[in-house]
Amino acid sequence: MGIKYKRILLKLSGEALAGEKGFGLDYNVIKDVCRSIKECSELGVQIGIVVGGGNFWRGRSSGAMDRTRADHIGMLGTTMNALAVADVLEEMDVDVRVQTAIAMQAVAEPYIRNRAVRHLEKGRVVIFGCGTGNPFFSTDTASSLRAAEIEADIIFKATMVDGVYDKDPNKFDDAVKYDTLTFGEVLAKNLGVMDSTAASMCKDNNLPILVFNLGRPQNIVDAVKGEPVGTLVQGE
């Protein structure tokens, strides 16, 4: 079977990298995810990855600390994840580069859009650390921004649930999963697919998002082949 998407932006939440522990890094989980990333890369898919940082730190839940400073710490957390994922991919012989929105030359390349695209064209996986590089934003917003910049066909939002539901499936037995949604519906119904800044950016730039469960890492491979997984959010 061929591939449906030539270039994807994969958003990996920090939470997903922590596994059952809920904090820090679970290398067994990361290895499973990286195996699927490698498989997609070998199928010829160009892959950019934005990593979250919630497994280490979330600026908005840092209590009394100045928000900007708390977000700086959050962005450093995303970079720890970026380096960890890069290391596991390298271990699997996948060609990978880390680029950070806040320059830290000793550990990674600075984010340069054209350079990132060049890496992708050469078949290298590019991991984007530090989110957007700005406080008050999220790694979801960074995903829509980077996806727009690198002209990705789609954002893959790999989460802990198998798609978007009308209500929280962990709380309500009768929650119903959507197969498809429009951005208008996501914003009007406040469905919590991603924050509204990120959702608006995708809407305005006509960037579809596929939301699916990373608990089954093979979903990434199925999704690039166009098999029905998760919930697809797109324009009207």
Instruction: Please report, as ranges, the residues that interact with ligand UDP according to CB under 6 A.
Output: 13-15, 52-54, 58-60, 70-71, 74-75, 77-78, 131-132, 134-135, 137-142
> Largest Cα–Cα distance of the chain, in whole Å?
53
DSSP structural state of residue 20: G
Rounded CA separation 10/160 (Å): 14
- Are the C-beta atoms of residues 123 and 95 closer than 8 Å to each other? yes
Closest CB to ligand UDP among residues 28, 61: 61
| Nearest distance from C-beta of residue 76 to ligand UDP, angstroms | 8
| Nearest distance from C-beta of residue 96 to ligand UDP, angstroms | 20
Closest CB to ligand UDP among residues 32, 140: 140
Closest CB to ligand UDP among residues 60, 118: 60
| Nearest distance from C-beta of residue 22 to ligand UDP, angstroms | 11
Strand ranges in 66-203 using DSSP code E only, listed in sequence order: 96-100, 109-110, 125-129, 154-159, 164-165, 177-178, 180-182
The SS3 assignment for 35 reads helix
- Are the C-beta atoms of residues 92 and 42 closer than 8 Å to each other? no
Closest CB to ligand UDP among residues 60, 189: 60
Strand 231-234 versus strand 180-182 pairing type: parallel
| Nearest distance from C-beta of residue 149 to ligand UDP, angstroms | 14
Rounded CA separation 227/235 (Å): 20
Q: How far out from the chain centre does Cα 209 lie?
A: 10
Closest CB to ligand UDP among residues 64, 188: 64
| Nearest distance from C-beta of residue 80 to ligand UDP, angstroms | 11
Closest CB to ligand UDP among residues 140, 180: 140
Q: How wide is the angle at C-alpha 124 spanned by C-alphas 134 and 121, nearest 5°?
A: 95
| Nearest distance from C-beta of residue 13 to ligand UDP, angstroms | 4
Q: Which two tokens stand for residue 15?
A: 């939470």
Closest CB to ligand UDP among residues 129, 173: 129
Q: Which two tokens stand for residue 98?
A: 């880390």
Phi, psi (rounded to 5 degrees) for 73 = -65, -40
| Nearest distance from C-beta of residue 107 to ligand UDP, angstroms | 17
